[in-house]
Structure 1
Amino acid sequence: MNWIILIIAGLFEVAFTFCLGKAKEATGNEAYAWYGGFLVACIISMSLLIKATQNLPLGTAYAVWTGIGAVGTVLLGIFVFKDPANFWRIFFIVTLIASIVGLKAVSAH
């Protein structure tokens, strides 16, 4: 269950970076709404990370959380914000995913 909580926390990390990206494109009240979404997603993400680390090794949990956030944010950038998707970016995303799976596989919990 802690791993599921950690994965959800990582997805909320992606959500708060998405909100930042949308806020950058918006103006006025729409930008403030996206910043509000950022704060809500950030609070949820951090709260779930705290909950997950109560029963998982801190270093592993933090690395997985940031890895999910990094991979999700890069993919969001490619598919939503039209960031470039060249061979090396995809290669390193795949190696990051392999590292996250490896950390989960060797974790004692």
Structure 2
Amino acid sequence: MKNTWLMVIVAAVFEVGWVIGIKHSESVLQWFGTIIAIFISFALMIQASKKISVGTVYAVFVGLGTAGTVVAEMMLFQADVNPMKLLLIGVLLIGVIMLKLQNKEQAVEIKGGE
């Protein structure tokens, strides 16, 4: 199960990459990297959803991706650092962690469509 959560986290990292790529790509090589990041991100998310409920995987994926994108924009592209934005990212991450913990309590592995 730990490897599955690692897949979700790596998928979210690639999501941050492709979201930033969509906004900032200017060359063919950058667009190619963005497309590769999209493919890896969704492939990992799909693999993870075979072991963890789809709703939980998607919520964690999007939550981590959103938080990562906002932080990356602040760090890499000098987006405004707004205390309220940071507070809300913290709330989002708490929700993501709570979803993960809730899923752990209800751990039921999906095996071959059972």
Superposed pair shares fold, TM > 0.5: yes
Q: How many residues are paired up?
A: 103
1:87 is displaced (CA, Å) by 1.3
1:56 counterpart SS class:
coil
Q: Distance in 1 between matches of 2:7 and 2:82?
A: 32
- CA displacement 1:32-89 (0-9 Å, x = unmatched): 2111111000000000000000010110100000011100000011001111111110
1:94-109 correspondence to structure 2 within 5 Å: 94-107=90-103, 108-109=106-107
Q: Report the AA paired with residue 82 of structure 1.
A: Q
Which residue is 1:38 aligned to? Answer: 34
Which residue is 1:89 aligned to? Answer: 85
TM-score (norm 2): 0.86
Q: Which has more helix, going by share of residues?
A: 1
1:13 is displaced (CA, Å) by 0.4
Which residue is 1:72 aligned to? Answer: 68
Which residue is 1:21 aligned to? Answer: 23
1:84 counterpart SS class:
coil
Alpha carbon RMSD of aligned pairs, Å? 1.0
Which residue is 1:56 aligned to? Answer: 52
Which residue is 2:10 aligned to? Answer: 8
1:22 is displaced (CA, Å) by 2.8
Query: Does the 8 Å contact 1:20/1:34 carry over to 2?
Result: no
What runs of 5+ residues in structure 2 fail to find an aligned partner?
A: 108-114
Q: Which runs of 4+ in 1 moved over 2 A?
A: none
